[in-house]
Amino acid sequence: MIEVYIDGASKGDPGLSGAGIFFKNVQEDSKFKIPLGNMNNHEAEFQALIHALKIAKERNYSILSIRTDSQAVDQAISKQFAKREPYKSLLVEALKLMEQFDLCFVKWIPAKENRVADQLAREAIHLNK
């Protein structure tokens, strides 16, 4: 099982945003900083999940335990429901990607346990052009 720590960050609401992704206990490059352009923090959190799933699929990982400090993402995934756009579309995309794995689940963790992904997301904001 691959542990994946994800986080999204925004400088403003909306504002320049970034995603941080950390794959724990893998041999390949495992830290990603992804600039996301202009969006709000919740969108950035969903985008971090989507990007993590795409990277995991490219690397042929089959079992994922995804850790997030975003209660919005955790609850949307567990309930398979988001009330309004753009979250509905992002949730649908994430759920479709999750179906491609043998086992894939999202678990909420406190922010203090997600420091690596948080730092990567903050650094990713500065990569926006």
Per-residue pLDDT of 37-85, as tens digits, reads: 999 999 999 999 999 999 999 999 999 999 999 999 999 999 999 999 9
pTM comes to 0.96
Where do the domains of the chain lie, and which CATH numbers do they carry? 2-125 (3.30.420.10)
Residue-wise pLDDT tens digits, 77-108: 999 999 999 999 999 999 999 999 999 999 99
SS (H, E, C) the chain: CEEEEEEEEEEECCEEEEEEEEEECCCCCCEEEEEEEEECHHHHHHHHHHHHHHHHHHCCCCEEEEEECCHHHHHHHHHCCCCCCCHHHHHHHHHHHHCCCCEEEEEECCHHHCHHHHHHHHHHHCCCC
